[in-house]
Structure 1
């Protein structure tokens, strides 16, 4: 028993010093099941979060503006061949209205998400013109950071979104085990998806990468994913539990206990102490928020206003119409955990600081270096 405690303490000491953890150490952490051991990992995760972010938490508004998709992802409710659900496509005016509502509520970022809707993709660059204009209008009217989550868009489209003011690109691989990837995303190129994220980084985007847990991945797969995320230089890293969806090929696969997701969140924090790690409301709603914050998350995602006609992804309707996915319901939970909503200026400073580290040679980001140094002084 003494050797076991020593091993865990040694690993956590390394994490606290921000020395890279070895593969065997990460596997050891992911294999923990004793509640006291897991609590120690969570505690260290929160200490590292506090080092970089103090008690500040960021909030993301979620605008899932089209549920049409050309793909056949086996885990997704909105796969092309699922005809058992009502789909929708929001107009530019509706997107703008929801965006303004979310900004007014106090979110730090707008996540504009859709399936790979054929009405955009069938005409490649020209098909995205109206959406690019909507992003430009949102930026002009609000100046809020915008995340683009529209699938594997053509590179020219990503350049147009960047010119319109988009700040983030999210495109989740879900796993970095190639065989498992093709079981989850049949007919979709693994390499093209990865390369698009790399291209987005070169364009000046901040990039989010994400995993799905409970789909047959092993601990070895998870460590591989952490290594790929590190190599990618992801600025935000996400994990969500698989939720079986009706009328999909994976509908009979049970969802794992949340202990798995929570431990992965905590290990992510040890590996990426200064990155953003979401606590999504899309899995367990408001009731699952506190435990994800306790595990080391520092972003609350999937905030959706009621009466907006929008849905979630994993849990399509959970907590939306009763108003539990709103800022007003989130803030009391933050307070219970000794946490607070960051100011919008703090979020912008973090983003500028992050860009200064990633692109120190780009002339248009020279002023970010000063912001980064100021941020370091203020937060350490």
Structure 2
């Protein structure tokens, strides 16, 4: 056997490994194959594939890990117990590659979204430092993956959101709001919402990073996804205190949010009315600001046009406005708000929307 034959043997070996890794990645995405794959010791095999000399094989192995973990929490727990987390994070450090980094981040996202415990396991394995460094990368796909991981981690609870803040994620996510790629801005905005929603302290971290003006600007973007995500993030900030709601107002969200409450896209209307709801609940003065800007009309229109859960923010907003004082209650009545609430009560009687409509009707008082 000559040198050419030896080389051919190794080429065949690499081709077989590549084919095998691609097949495993494909099978891992099929729910009906998961049990059989686990019985065949796929996690042990992936350990070796993640250490392969070929970046393509490593990339397919990383994708397979993510697809397995996304199947269910028990499978994600098996992935963590097999110590694949440390292997995922270390392979990219040994060989920087944007496609490999994207695959690793996809796997981490699949793991952290399963439960707070899984998110904590990623952090304990050094995953947070890896994700933060990925958010500083030039490649937009890498930035998206990093923002996804941070958002899913923070979404679980206050403690994890605090860890994300402590790692320095908020200023980087705020910078990502200024990227040219819409997808990056959408995911960064969503991650900031997942951070801000938990407490006044987490929302203050987003405020301190200077995110609000960029979010207000994003809420006027032609892309409907970015509009509604930015509006929901502003809602997550505004809901905590009157000072935070006033900060959002001072950033120029009016009259833009009132225009969005009449947007053709039902989800944009829901996002806009959610922000209005979080603002008007704080004080009669903020409620009057919405009333004087013509907000009652768009809230009533939103209740009439929207269905199901998408009606809820506008229903509650009318209740908050009417509940402040008799003068504002009269404004709700004159704007046909009572009729809109009665319609929601009639059409949504068997779910929580009907209960919310009944509560809002009870807030209308004229004495």
Instruction: Identify, as 1 or 2, the structure richer in helix.
Output: 2
Instruction: Identify, as 1 or 2, the structure richer in strand.
Output: 1
The structure, 1 or 2, with the larger RCO (C-alpha pairs under 8 Å, 6+ apart) is 1
Structure 1-normalised TM-score? 0.25
Tell which structure's C-alpha radius of gyration is larger.
2
Structure 2-normalised TM-score? 0.26
